[in-house]
Every structure is written in C-alpha cells, then in structure tokens.
Structure 1
C-alpha cells in the first residue's frame, strides 16, 4: 500500500468500490426481502410461518448491521426496527394476518431507503511508519538536581547502550532541548533549587512540544498524590528512591519496543465478505496486518499460521455462531491471551452479555465508524501485546525466555527450508561471569547481563529473535544470514561489549563474551542445531574466550 502517513487515494478508491458493490447488492437483496415478506402471507402452517419469519429476521439483522457502515444509515435503522418487530413475533405463537400484511408492506418499502443518508465517515489517520535502518542509540535526558544520583542514572544508561545526558537545572535542560529533542525524559519530582517542581515543569514541557515525550519520574515520595500528579504530567512510570536502575531501564526499553513493534495482527471472521473487506481495508490503512476468514472450519490453520493478536468475530453466522467459535478458540492455552471482539447488530443487552460470557472480551454494535473500529482494535491489540511480552519475556533482560527462543529456532529452520535460505543460530555466554558476581556482587552481574541484552537488541535486526537461554547465556536466531555476515555481526558486538566500562562500589571493570554459531541445513533438526552451536561455543571458551567460532 502507499505511504500510510499521507492521504491514501487507493484506499479511498477501494472503499468507494466496496460501497458501490454493496449498493448493487442491495438492488438484488431488497426485492428478495420483499418477496420473503410476501410469502409469509401465503404460508398456512404455523410452523412454516415461524421458520420463514426466522429466516427473514436473520436477513434483516444482517442488513441492520451492514447498511450503516456503507453510508445507508436510514436503511439500517429501518431494518433494525423491523428486525426487532419480527423478533417479538417469534416469541408469540400466532400472528394476525392484517399485522403480517402491514409488516410485509414495510419490508417492501425498504427499497425506498436506498439513497445514502450521510457521507462516509472520514478515514482514521494511521500512525506514522517507523523508519527502518541502522539502529541509533536512544537519546535520554535526565533532570536531577542532586549530581550524584543523576550521574549514577546517566552512567548506568550509558552502559546499557543509551546516549544519556544529565542536567542539574531547568535552564540547562531547556538549552539542550533547543538543540535536540531526546527520545525520552527522566525527571526528578523534587527540584529544591527551582521555583517549580519537576512534575510541574514536565507537564508544561509536554504541552509545549509538538509530540509528548515518554516521561519517567523519579521521586523520594511514594504516595498516591505523587503518582496522580505524575500521570497528569504524562508519565509512563514512577520510580521511588533509592532507584532500582535495571527496573527503570526496563521500563524505557519496553516503551521503545512498543514504539518500534511490528504491525498488529488482526483476524476478521465474518460471513459478510463485503463488510469484512471494508473492515480489513480500514485496519490495513491504519498500519495493521489483517486476514479474513469466511469459513469457520479453517479456523485452526489461520490461528497457527497468522498468530493473530486480536480476533474480530461476527456473532450471527450460518452453521456456527460467533460465541461457539469463541469457545473453540478458548479450548487451547496458546490462544487464551488473544482478545475476541464481537461485532454484531445485536442491541439486546441480555444477548450481548450472554455472548460475552461465552469467551468474549468486548462487544461492538454494528454499524461502527472507521475511527471507532481502529481505536477499539488498537487498544485491545496494544494491551494484548504488552501482556504477551510480559509473560513470554525474561524480567531482567526483556528478551524471550528459554522455551520461547527455542521455539523460534524450530520456526526459523522450517521457514529457511521452505524459502531455500540459510539462517544462523548463535549461542553466546559471558566469560568468567561467576567472578563478576563474586568480586562485584549480583547487582553488578545483573547490570552486565542487561548491558549485553541491550547491545544485542540494538545491533541486531528487527527480524532477528533474541532470548536469554540461561543465567548468563543468550541465544540469537538470525534469518537469511550467511556465515560471513553472522561472523562479522557477532564480532562487532563482541568488540563493542568488551569496550564497555562497568562500575560497582567505585571499581571499574570490563567483561567479554564468547560465541558459537551454526548455519541451518536440511539434515539437522532444531535440537541438533542447538547442540552444534553449543559445541562451537565450547570451542570458543576453550580456545581462549572473547571470540566467535562457527560450528563444523
């Protein structure tokens, strides 16, 4: 698709085409509805009349949900009123003939509602695409009046690979902001030498900027009022003194990972192809990846291959209802975290609650505007991804846990074989790590682990997978990466890591790591690749450490 950050004529054209297709569809469907209504008068059996009325009610329900989305608001409202009337009659055992005649006439008059009642709602403005390229160190400004604390934060963040600058006063920080706007800001809530508090300054600053900065607050106060003031200043985290610096950096990292993340993946399950296509176009225009499913029996393959982060699910579908499909999804632990949003023209609260109790997370009533659709899906997908990251990632490093990174090896091996490419699987281990813990303490050891995790994340590509394989051991999966490229990248990271200066209890020290890597091939399984990479790592360790070796 074209640049999603600008006006998108192709998308608008597609939406207009879908609207035209829907209008053409109505030219056939409305006369058919009128004929269905007329046939009610010719049915003599009460059971047959109930069945015919039920079928007509279902058609009116579908029309009520789709017409407004394509701009036929009056038609949708009239169809909804007739649907509700038919629904009431279905609760009765008999209908008087003169009442059915009036109802039949009203259904036939739906054709008079074919003129669009309002222009199509404006398309939502999609978020700007994050440029891809060589990763640059994130710039962090720190406003902290106590020099020792501010310098400690700056030094730790610099060790973790950030470009951190410490400022003791507001005037000094303002001058720096005139030269360059950072990627994030850390502010002390108490600034005793200033006329305003750190939170007051931060709140005013956010309002001056074109776009608010990720804001972290450090404070000696841990009360509710300080937390509330931090939220009102736009903070994404508050950290009490004495600072847990790895925890603070983890919050920063989580924020940046979220900003740079891949597009959210949305699966739409709806038997109305035109309506599903419109939803798909709108969500793709907002930089989301979308797949459509019209046949529920194909559910499992879509879930496995697409791995959606949100499921948009129609409630009323032939052969299998939305709540039934939602319950099938919830049978499996792998998909328990996927939010399910029901989309339906159903307005009865009791029925909505019944659907929600059967495995749903949200209920959106059709028709839904484009902006509301994007906002609803975005909010659910964002929360789902944050939860998945929290559960799947190591709390110290933010990298994938042991089981998840091992699974990535199998996934990438399968992809490499399918695409006839070669991937590299690398195992890294920090040299003499026990000595780091023994000499400098476990907190210093944690800082070393975090620093290597950050360096790996910064220097590798977004398509690469990283995990903490063990205590001080890491695993990297590099798709479409030949041996010479893997050797060069790993050596560059090794040299940069060896140059880092760590400080603990006033002592400065440096650390190195060793690595072994292997190329995927058609003869080796995922477990065999891991064994070969481990043997190469063993060879690097026994060959003198601080080196990278390729498996034989």
Structure 2
C-alpha cells in the first residue's frame, strides 16, 4: 500500500517536472520565433524565403501540438493558425508541377515492360487470432521526438496498465523492435532532424513484418491528405494534437479486444459433405469455431445450442432450399441479427437477387477461393459481433448494461453456491462527478467515464464481468475472489485512476473513485448482495471518498 502511494506521488512529480521543463523551453523558443520572422523579412530571394518559411512552419507545427498538452491552449491554437499561414505562403512559392516529369517517366517504364502471370496463392489471409485465456501486459512503443509529450503519454498509458516505452528517434525505436515486437505502435507524423516521416517509417516496418502491428497516428495536421496517408499505411486510429490520451487508450482497447476476443462461430448447412468439410477446415485454420450439418431440420437445435454468428447455406438442397431455410431462421426474433450467406454455383443475377430478397445477406458464387471464403465470413462475423455488442452493451463504455450486469450477479451467486467458492461484487462510483460536468462540460465527463471503464477492463480478468450500473456508477462481479483479494485489486485501480490526467479546454484535472465490496454467502440473494455492496460504497463516500470499503 505504501509502495503504491509512493508510486502515485512519483508519477505526479514526473508530470509536474515535465510541465516546468516545457514552460522553461517556451522562454527560449518564443524569442527564436521572433528572430526567424525577422530573418524572413530580410530575405531577398524566393529560395531564401522558402528556407525560412520551412523552418518557421516546422517549429510552429511542433509548438501547435505541444502547447495545448501542457495547458497553453491559446498558444497552441495561435501556433496552428500561423502554421497554416506558413503553408499558404509556401504554396505560392513552389512549382505546382514539381515531380510530374518523373511520374511520366515511371509510367512509361511500367507500360513498356513485359509481364507474366504469377501463380495465385490460395492460402487464407492473415486473420486476428482470438481466444487468449487471460489478459497479459501489452507492450506499447511510442515514437515522439518531443520528450515532454512522449513521456507524458508513456506515464499515462503505464497508469492504464500497459508497458509503454517512449522513443525520440526512429533509430532508437527500430533497435527496440529488433529486440522485441510491441503489441501496438503509436507514431507521430512529423519528426525533427530526419527526412523520414513517422508514417514513412511505419509503412516500411509493416511491409517487413509477418503480420501488421496495430498502428495509431498522432499529428498536428488534421487535413484529408494526412488522414489518407495514415489509412494507406494501415493505421487503426488518428489523433490530433494535443492528444486526449484516455480516448487514445480507448482505441487501443478496441484494437486488442478485436484481436483477443472469442473465436467467431460459423454454422455451415450444406448437403455436400466434402465441400462443407473443406469450408470447415479453411475457417478453422483462420481460428473460427465451425459446426456442420447436412440436415436442414437440425436448424433449431443448432441455432439454440451453438449460437452461430454467421450461417452459411447452400442454395440448392434436397427437401428444403437455402432461401426457405433462411426464412425459417428469420421467423425467430432472437436470430434476426445473424448474417446468412448463400453459397451456390448459381450465376444468374436475377435468381441470386431473388434469393437475397427472400432472407439472405450475401451471395457467394461457387467455386470460391479460400481467401474469398475467409474474408467474406470474417467480415460478416465481425460486423455481426459489433452490432450485437452495440445493442447489448452501453454505447459510451462498451460495458454491459444495467439489466445484463445485474443478471451476472445472480448467475455468479448460483455458481458460487454450487462450487463452494467465494465471489465478490463491487460497486464503484466516481467522486464529485457532477462537478466534473459543471466545471469542464459533459464531453469531459464522458471521457472520465470512458477512462474508468477502460482502466477496469485493463486491470481485471477476462472471467470478471463489468457493467455500467447507471450514470457514473459501475458494477463488477469477480468470481473466485475473496473480499481481501478484491480489496487489493480495487485499491490498485483506485490509485491508478487518481493518477490519470484529463484535459478540458486546456485545463488539466484529476478525478477519484470510491468503491464498496460484498462477498457471496449461502444466505444472501442477488438483490441483498447488491444492497450490501451499495451500503459499503455509501460508507466509503461518507468516510471521505477516494477509498474502498468492505461490507459489514
């Protein structure tokens, strides 16, 4: 407990020191900008003007992204405005058709060469591998040449439970990647002292890896061209400086959740056993769970017991066609969200459309490659799961909704009674949350709620259930966890949450939480268990907040 308190204090000291260093830097940097402006004024030739404009633009670019992070919101906004002005001035100096002749030469070389078709690979495409038994510490590498910004990001992500490392140069990052691959990469677009941008390096890195890394991009440039370049190098997130780190962490969590989620469940109904077996093997090789059936009459049992996320139907089956079976599936409201993909050698567009109109979602013509099968099924399953989560989970946090998390309490209570093991139920509430909304706005309040949800996901196990109980209140169900163990876990989460730094309109602030714990027993009902946890939470609030109490 003492060590954690000291670690929290050490974090605050580091953050304060970084802020002071930036304030001292401004005392030197702002006069430098004035000197460069004077040099630009005295420049005689377009070449000299372009040189000075480039230098000014680069320095303003860095300042625009950094100032707001440390609370200098107006300075950051003004620097960004001046950066755009510098870009406009440069555009009027540079040749609009620069590089055109080189492009034409390359195009002529391309069209003059002879080509031969290469054998197509029929191996399934790389698909995220799912199903890790428990959360492991994820390694995050940060490429950011601004030491203050990079260290601030590293410290905050570490508080979320990641192993974050900050690198100021491409060379240092590349050396670290040579020793150990991270689980995700955060890259700033523009780096001082090198002709290579962060995106250029990321593109080259992704090409030489067996599987691409989750990539998040940060930049002061919020234009379409930069977004497009980020997409083309495989970025899964784009954040404009000053970066809202809780939002960035939320995107990281989504990336890892997709990679580590349960395998997608696919049901194949096809009277051709060999063909269905091949599809099954290909999909299983792509880490999906697959069941097969040759009898359409099995549909009710298969749907109830296997609960598929995608159904593959042969169109032409004896006794019951694919479209007829699809309509039977659609009779049940519980299965309306399950995508149905028809597999058929039918090439007549009118017949394909007729089958789709009857109940299907997609039509894949046989024969189809392994790549096409995996890609089609994976895309449909991914979308179906996202939709299902959107309907059953809280839209802001991604956690279970009120009714669903209450149901988990009852389920875990029954399991604990059968096994004889103890489980803990935890009620959490953000302290003085109304003041956050009043002082910083509801958007800032939403960021605080989302940050706590992400932190809970990071620090708890995969077997634990998490839900948003209402407003700023959360409920956690921890199987096989005593009250003492829950106390230790929740105290660590409480301290880490208190160490998170939030930014709203250039102002930094922190928030705390309180929690109450109740443990299962043979006599209490689910409702009584919740009441005991709620009373413990009330005691924590009454006792001064920012603490965890156990039910009496």
Q: TM-score, normalization: structure 1?
A: 0.66
User: 1:186 touches 1:215 (CA, 8 Å); kept in 2?
Assistant: yes
Q: CA deviation at 1:535?
A: 4.5
Cα pair distance change 1:503/1:533, threshold 3 Å: closer
Query: How far apart, in 2, do the equivalents of 1:143 and 1:517 lie?
Result: 44
Residue 310 in 1 paired to residue 313 in 2? no
Cα pair distance change 1:400/1:509, threshold 3 Å: same
Q: CA deviation at 1:475?
A: 2.0
Q: CA deviation at 1:264?
A: 0.7
Corresponding residue for 1:502? 500
Q: CA deviation at 1:418?
A: 8.5
Query: How far apart, in 1, do the equivalents of 2:527 and 2:303 lie?
Result: 25
Query: How far apart, in 1, do the equivalents of 2:302 and 2:416 lie?
Result: 21
Q: CA deviation at 1:443?
A: 6.1
Cα pair distance change 1:438/1:288, threshold 3 Å: same
Q: CA deviation at 1:263?
A: 0.8
Residue 237 in 1 paired to residue 234 in 2? no
Residue 199 in 1 paired to residue 196 in 2? no
Q: CA deviation at 1:392?
A: 3.9
Secondary structure, counterpart of 2:181 in structure 1: coil
Higher deviation after alignment, 211-220 or 501-510:
501-510
**Aligned-residue CA RMSD (Å):** 3.7
Cα pair distance change 1:131/1:411, threshold 3 Å: closer
Q: Max radius of gyration: which structure?
A: 1
Higher deviation after alignment, 128-137 or 237-246:
128-137
Query: How far apart, in 2, do the equivalents of 1:324 and 1:165 lie?
Result: 56
Query: How far apart, in 2, do the equivalents of 1:301 and 1:413 lie?
Result: 28
Query: How far apart, in 1, do the equivalents of 2:365 and 2:511 lie?
Result: 59
Question: What runs of 5+ residues in structure 2 fail to find an aligned partner?
Answer: 1-120
Corresponding residue for 1:519? 520
Deviations 1:218-253 (A, max 9, x none): 223333322221122121122234434333222211
User: 1:494 touches 1:513 (CA, 8 Å); kept in 2?
Assistant: no
Question: What runs of 5+ residues in structure 1 fail to find an aligned partner?
Answer: 1-120
Alignment of 1:10-89 (within 5 A): none
Alignment of 1:141-540 (within 5 A): 141-273=141-273, 275-409=275-409, 424-434=424-434, 445-478=445-478, 481-482=479-480, 484=482, 487-499=484-496, 500-504=498-502, 509=510, 511-519=512-520, 524=525, 530-531=530-531, 533-538=533-538
Query: How far apart, in 2, do the equivalents of 1:425 and 1:132 lie?
Result: 24
User: 2:310 touches 2:338 (CA, 8 Å); kept in 1?
Assistant: yes
User: 1:190 touches 1:197 (CA, 8 Å); kept in 2?
Assistant: yes
User: 1:425 touches 1:520 (CA, 8 Å); kept in 2?
Assistant: no
Corresponding residue for 1:7? none
Query: How far apart, in 2, do the equivalents of 1:391 and 1:242 lie?
Result: 32
Secondary structure, counterpart of 2:474 in structure 1: strand
Cα pair distance change 1:298/1:516, threshold 3 Å: farther
Q: CA deviation at 1:174?
A: 3.1
Q: CA deviation at 1:285?
A: 3.8
Secondary structure, counterpart of 1:226 in structure 2: helix
Cα pair distance change 1:122/1:131, threshold 3 Å: same
Query: How far apart, in 1, do the equivalents of 2:378 and 2:349 lie?
Result: 24
User: 2:487 touches 2:548 (CA, 8 Å); kept in 1?
Assistant: no
Q: CA deviation at 1:462?
A: 1.9
Deviations 1:234-289 (A, max 9, x none): 21122234434333222211101111111111122334555444433443343222
User: 1:487 touches 1:548 (CA, 8 Å); kept in 2?
Assistant: no
Deviations 1:459-502 (A, max 9, x none): 32223322222222212234xx2352x64145323234225423
Query: How far apart, in 1, do the equivalents of 2:420 and 2:315 lie?
Result: 42
Cα pair distance change 1:434/1:137, threshold 3 Å: farther
Cα pair distance change 1:245/1:358, threshold 3 Å: farther
Query: How far apart, in 2, do the equivalents of 1:467 and 1:539 lie?
Result: 21
Cα pair distance change 1:126/1:173, threshold 3 Å: closer
Q: Indicate the structure whose relative CO is greater, using CA pairs within 8 Å and at least 6 residues apart.
A: 2
Number of residue pairs matched? Answer: 427
Q: TM-score, normalization: structure 2?
A: 0.66
Cα pair distance change 1:181/1:281, threshold 3 Å: closer
Query: How far apart, in 2, do the equivalents of 1:464 and 1:122 lie?
Result: 40
